[in-house]
A and B are shown apart, each in its own frame.
Chain A
Amino acid sequence: MQAITIQEQDNDFRAEVERRSGQSMVECYQCGNCTAGCPFDFAYDLPVSKIMRLVQLGQREIVLSCHSIWLCASCKTCTTRCPNSIDVAKIMDVLRHMARESGHIKERTVKAFEDSFLASVKKTGRLHEVGVALGYEMRTGRFLTDIDLVQTMVSKGKLSIKPHSMHNSDQVAEIFKRFNGGIHE
């Protein structure tokens, strides 16, 4: 196990997480309640309370390169039960943003799904489920994902090959364009 040199901790990292999440990291007293209730803990490489600790210790690399921050489903169980009322789920969100920005992509399929989802929305203004699936498959090369569902959905009339129509879908595309233009921080 690697040793952490405490004086070399990255306090800017901790400060950035605090600023972007609006949460105060010192308030976490490591009770573990967030880990205890997290439904995704079994799939995590770092339990969420450990992530909280490592942010306190300014461990940017370890935190941003973990899988857990990609597997958090924002179910907010942790936020609801934290005895210090810390919005832990929001911190997980912010960490994923930071990982994205810095190119730490530990769950390619998760990122691919998010990207295809947003690409679909950008293109048509509304979510087009076939579009997402296709986009996802293109991005990951996992071509038969959910193929078993398609048949059921088609037979139940739940899947349209064409996106659901809205006019002015370009307004939505604009939102994405401006966003990519880096107007926000």
Chain B
Amino acid sequence: MPPSNDLKDGGELRIIGFLCNWCSYSGADAAGVARLEQPTDLRIIRTPCTGRIDPLFILRALINGADGVLVSGCHPGDCHYVEGNFHARRRLETLKRILPISGIDPERFKYTWVSASESGRWQETVREFTAKIHALGPAPRMTDVVSRSKDLSLEGLLLQDENGGA
């Protein structure tokens, strides 16, 4: 394993971003093209749509020790797949309600909408979220959270909410 996994010694925290391909990932690209300086903590995972983002990915990241998770997609009504971001919104709202039960500070998770042209907005988002996570400091060890999440069967909770269908 390369040493880079120990992020904390550079003063960086572990922040994971889940971005939809069409709007926010392009927006982040556009911010790069415009050389809009951002903190370096964020690592971005590309998905086709925010509707592809399973809340369990986020939960897993936080349980595994991520200090923050940022989700960003197309503005409501702008989804490349018509309604993917509405599904995402509903699922992520549920996640927000469930995080405190599992002992995770919900402040460590944020979702937002950034379009492909909003490079400035993306820069702001990254700056603000990174600053917030730094203000919260490194996440506490999640050992007890892991066991608790099993007790509560969080996965069941999340899935239940989804059962409403489209």
Are A and B in contact, CB atoms below 8 Å, in the complex? no
Residues in B lying within 8 Å of A, measured CB to CB: none
